[in-house]
A and B are shown apart, each in its own frame.
Chain A
Amino acid sequence: MDRFFQRSGLQWRLLLVYPISTMTMVNSLNLFLQMYRIRAVEEEIAHRYPQGKMRCPVHLSIGQESIPAVFAETISKRDFAVSTHRGHAHYLAKGGSLNAMIAEIYGKVTGCAKGKGGSMHLIDLNVNFMGTSAIVGNSIPVGVGLALSAQLKGTDQISCIFLGDGAIEEGVFYESVNFAAVRKLPVLFICENNLYSVYSPLSVRQPQGRSIAKMVEAMGVEIATGSGSDVLASQQLMQQAVNKVREGSGPYFLEFSTYRWREHCGHSFDNDIGYRTQEEFLEWQAKDPLLLLESSLSQSTSNLRQQLDSIKAVVNLEVQAAFKFAETSEFPLQSEAYQDVYATQELSA
């Protein structure tokens, strides 16, 4: 098994020595690995959540793994990213420490925010994952500010901002897009449109037939739209967008359709409570990007079943180890609650 993988930093990479012609296959396996890893983590959170040891709201990304996976395979460690309340997948995709994330959800001192932030406040400065926010739209201008800093410092870093369809309705979204456009900032907006803001469908929130991306295009920003179910096509769109932003052509807005399988907040399914239909849910489940990619890889001429199973086995071990790390880590001291209200280190000129 070991010869398929190399653990480099915090990310798993495949080490398959194949001719160039099979690079696509390697890429597909990497995408599968990223998607499977996110799902395995989220499923394990859902599985253990009823134990009551993870005592904070969790917003799971099950069903929405494809765009983070594509992101993981496209972005550089030096680039910045910020995300939302539903941010586990983005944090992991950027290369954030799995152990530190699970420990944070458990409220442990080894957590990525020392237990101060929980599931909705994830950060890993080692990989320039700069934070997530519990307030819809709140991290959007922060991402734009990171882009401004890159522009001021003359680096080639880009700043990636994950947002959902709900954030499109926040005033701060328009303010942020406008400023990014007027200053030609290196910002990549990645909108995962999952059709619902908590339990409110798009139909009661935005005019029927109006495209989010088209509206953003009218603000002077280049756009592309894609289906989150088609992971390879999404990857092409994202690669093209990243290239353009890095070249200095200003902000770019990507909109992908996707669907969250579990309840808005928590570990259960909620199709029975009446805000969406079981039929709609099954329709999206049939378009599961993870399953679609897995079956296409296992049915391909070179039959990658063995590699897929190896990936699963390795990831499962990693996930179990992360939960063990979190469960066996210490809680912060009670006195820690009163620390770090203010920063105290002197700023040098």
Chain B
Amino acid sequence: MTQKNFAAAINEALHEAMQQDTSVICYGLGVTDPKAVFGTTSNLEQRFGSERVFDMPTSENAMTGVAIGAALNGIKSVMTHQRLDFFLLAMDQLINGAAKWHYMFGGQNSIPITIRLIIGRGWGQGPTHSQNLQAWFAHIPGLKVIMPTTPGDAKGLLLSSIFDPNPVVFLEHRWLHNTVGDVPEGDFRIDIGKARKARTGTDITIVTMSYMTIEVLHAAEYLETRGVSCEIIDLRTIKPLDWETVMASVTKTGQLLVLDSGFTTGSVAGEIVARVAMEKFNVFKSAPARLAMPDVPEPTSYALTKGFYIRASDIAVKVLNMMGKNNSTVKIDLPEPMPHDVPGEWFKGPF
């Protein structure tokens, strides 16, 4: 199997889908520019032509409606937005249109569109360039919401999203684009709605998504040295959520911590804690918990974002606390990486 980075895996999925199916089109601001949305749309226009791959006016709302209209006549659009925050201008078309079309017209036609949104944190992205609003989308009946972590999952889930008959919101964390992993060749698909066990353990279930999975894998390695065995469930799909896998794991471990890259109130983590607590109350050895972003907009300054994000150490502190273990040395054992606002030294602006 070939090792590729996340961005290349996305690119490979787009090439595969467009090659397989001439009704797949791809558009968005910058998809044909030299940077090709972090390389994810490279060579698509050259290979498939400017009719099917095109840059667009700065009109997020109308262009979402265009995808709906085209879908009504059999076109599968993949839209790309360089930041989720820009796509907020398109909520009418997404929520009043795409999400409800199949239902409100009696199931006669469907809207197979895929909306790629880049989410992130750090590098001074600030209040309106960093939002992780998966909870918003998951709240809306009719939408599917995908948040892959690994390059392989990114490819497999993007292909499944493009060929799913429903509107799919596909969230790519900017800090994952350069991570490397196994990416199967060809038409490789992963079922929407199936979580992945990223680590098997016995003491606590940690449910996670997207980039938070990277942090919790570091935390779990450390926690192993402290005698805590973590089971990590990487959701991959936020909606429909794989409740079966989550419930089975919590039944086994009796402890639940849910991580979320979004704001705390109304978060996906909150929903998971609530539902598992309601259905599996008797299995809990201690109160379930969540770690999500504070209910404040993300600041821009390097100084203000220090200690702001949930890191491996925060997770370890929380888990040890839930297990009744001493957590006083965690911050020394697992210091916040320096610099704290990038996924690695390679990450330079402007993005």
Enumerate chain A interface residues (CB-CB to B < 8 A): 80, 82, 111-117, 121, 123, 125, 130-131, 133-135, 138-150, 152-153, 159, 171-172, 175-176, 178-179, 182, 339-347, 349
* A135 to B90 CA separation, bound complex (whole angstroms): 13
Given the known inter-chain contacts A175-B61, A179-B56, please indicate yes or no for A148 contacting B70, CB distance below 8 A.
Answer: yes
9 A-B contacts (beta carbon < 8 Å):
A113-B105, A138-B93, A141-B69, A142-B68, A149-B72, A152-B51, A343-B102, A343-B111, A347-B163
* A147 to B64 CA separation, bound complex (whole angstroms): 14
Instruction: Encode contact with A along B140-152: 1 for CB under 8 Å, 0 otherwise.
Output: 0110100000000
- Enumerate chain B residues within 8 angstroms of A82, measured Cβ to Cβ: 69
- Enumerate chain A residues within 8 angstroms of B164, measured Cβ to Cβ: 347
Given the known inter-chain contacts A172-B65, A344-B165, please indicate yes or no for A131 contacting B101, CB distance below 8 A.
Answer: yes
Scoring A130, A342, A346 by chain B CB atoms within 10 A of each residue's CB, the highest score goes to A342
- Enumerate chain A residues within 8 angstroms of B166, measured Cβ to Cβ: 342-343
For residue B134, CB closer than 8 A to chain A, the reply is no
Closest to B77 in A: A145
For residue B227, CB closer than 8 A to chain A, the reply is no
- Enumerate chain B residues within 8 angstroms of A130, measured Cβ to Cβ: 69, 72
Q: Is the CB of A111 within 8 A of B63?
A: no
Q: Which 3 A-B pairs have the closest CB atoms?
A: A145-B69, A141-B65, A175-B62
Q: Is the CB of B65 within 8 A of A145?
A: yes
Q: Is the CB of A144 within 8 A of B65?
A: yes
Q: Is the CB of B102 within 8 A of A342?
A: yes
With A135-B92, A343-B110 already in contact, 4 other A-B pairs whose C-beta atoms are closer than 8 Å: A131-B101, A145-B72, A152-B51, A341-B142
Q: Which of A80, A142, A340 contacts B65 (CB 8 A)?
A: A142
Given the known inter-chain contacts A123-B108, A149-B74, A179-B56, please indicate yes or no for A346 contacting B69, CB distance below 8 A.
Answer: no
Q: Which of A123, A171, A346, A349 contacts B61 (CB 8 A)?
A: A171
- Enumerate chain B residues within 8 angstroms of A159, measured Cβ to Cβ: 69
For residue B349, CB closer than 8 A to chain A, the reply is no
Q: Which of A114, A141, A182, A345 contacts B110 (CB 8 A)?
A: A345
Interface residue total, chain B, C-beta cutoff 8 A: 47
* A345 to B164 CA separation, bound complex (whole angstroms): 9
Q: Which of B56, B96, B105 contacts A116 (CB 8 A)?
A: B105
* A182 to B142 CA separation, bound complex (whole angstroms): 32
- Least CB distance from B252 to A in Å reads 30
Q: Is the CB of B106 within 8 A of A113?
A: yes
Q: Is the CB of B65 within 8 A of A176?
A: yes
Q: Which of A135, A149, A176, A347 contacts B73 (CB 8 A)?
A: A149
- Least CB distance from B86 to A in Å reads 13
Q: Is the CB of B107 within 8 A of A114?
A: yes
Q: Is the CB of B105 within 8 A of A117?
A: yes
- Enumerate chain B residues within 8 angstroms of A344, measured Cβ to Cβ: 165
For residue B251, CB closer than 8 A to chain A, the reply is no
- Enumerate chain A residues within 8 angstroms of B332, measured Cβ to Cβ: none
- Enumerate chain B residues within 8 angstroms of A139, measured Cβ to Cβ: 65
- Least CB distance from B170 to A in Å reads 16
Q: Is the CB of A172 within 8 A of B62?
A: yes
For residue B1, CB closer than 8 A to chain A, the reply is no
Given the known inter-chain contacts A179-B62, A342-B102, please indicate yes or no for A347 contacting B69, CB distance below 8 A.
Answer: no
Given the known inter-chain contacts A138-B92, A145-B71, A146-B69, please indicate yes or no for A117 contacting B63, CB distance below 8 A.
Answer: no
- Least CB distance from B212 to A in Å reads 26
Q: Is the CB of B105 within 8 A of A339?
A: no
Q: Is the CB of A116 within 8 A of B103?
A: yes
Q: Is the CB of A146 within 8 A of B72?
A: yes
Closest to B66 in A: A145
Q: Is the CB of A175 within 8 A of B63?
A: yes
- Enumerate chain A residues within 8 angstroms of B66, measured Cβ to Cβ: 141-142, 144-145, 148, 176, 179
For residue B20, CB closer than 8 A to chain A, the reply is yes
Q: Which of B64, B73, B97, B106 contacts A340 (CB 8 A)?
A: B106
Q: Is the CB of B102 within 8 A of A138?
A: no
**B38-71 interface with A by 8 A CB criterion:** 51-52, 56-57, 59, 61-71
Instruction: Encode contact with A along B109-150: 1 for CB under 8 Å, 0 otherwise.
Output: 111100000000000000000000000000001101000000
Closest to A109 in B: B106
For residue B176, CB closer than 8 A to chain A, the reply is no
* A80 to B165 CA separation, bound complex (whole angstroms): 21
- Enumerate chain A residues within 8 angstroms of B142, measured Cβ to Cβ: 341-342
- Enumerate chain A residues within 8 angstroms of B110, measured Cβ to Cβ: 343, 345
- Least CB distance from A133 to B in Å reads 7
Q: Is the CB of B72 within 8 A of A141?
A: no
For residue B303, CB closer than 8 A to chain A, the reply is no
- Enumerate chain A residues within 8 angstroms of B238, measured Cβ to Cβ: none
* A101 to B68 CA separation, bound complex (whole angstroms): 23
- Enumerate chain B residues within 8 angstroms of A143, measured Cβ to Cβ: 69
- Enumerate chain B residues within 8 angstroms of A347, measured Cβ to Cβ: 76, 112, 163-165
- Enumerate chain A residues within 8 angstroms of B104, measured Cβ to Cβ: 113, 116-117, 121
Q: Which of A80, A116, A141, A346 contacts B63 (CB 8 A)?
A: A141
Q: Is the CB of B103 within 8 A of A341?
A: yes
- Enumerate chain A residues within 8 angstroms of B154, measured Cβ to Cβ: none
For residue B25, CB closer than 8 A to chain A, the reply is yes
* A342 to B66 CA separation, bound complex (whole angstroms): 20
- Least CB distance from B177 to A in Å reads 27
Q: Is the CB of B96 within 8 A of A142?
A: no
- Enumerate chain B residues within 8 angstroms of A343, measured Cβ to Cβ: 102, 107, 110-112, 165-166
- Enumerate chain B residues within 8 angstroms of A178, measured Cβ to Cβ: 57, 59, 62
Given the known inter-chain contacts A144-B65, A153-B73, A159-B69, please indicate yes or no for A340 contacting B93, CB distance below 8 A.
Answer: no
Q: Is the CB of A172 within 8 A of B92?
A: yes
Q: Is the CB of A179 within 8 A of B105?
A: no
Closest to B102 in A: A343
Closest to A153 in B: B73
- Enumerate chain A residues within 8 angstroms of B276, measured Cβ to Cβ: none
- Enumerate chain B residues within 8 angstroms of A147, measured Cβ to Cβ: 69
- Enumerate chain B residues within 8 angstroms of A340, measured Cβ to Cβ: 102-103, 106-107
For residue B75, CB closer than 8 A to chain A, the reply is yes
* A277 to B21 CA separation, bound complex (whole angstroms): 58
- Least CB distance from A147 to B in Å reads 7
Q: Is the CB of A145 within 8 A of B59?
A: no
- Enumerate chain B residues within 8 angstroms of A339, measured Cβ to Cβ: 107
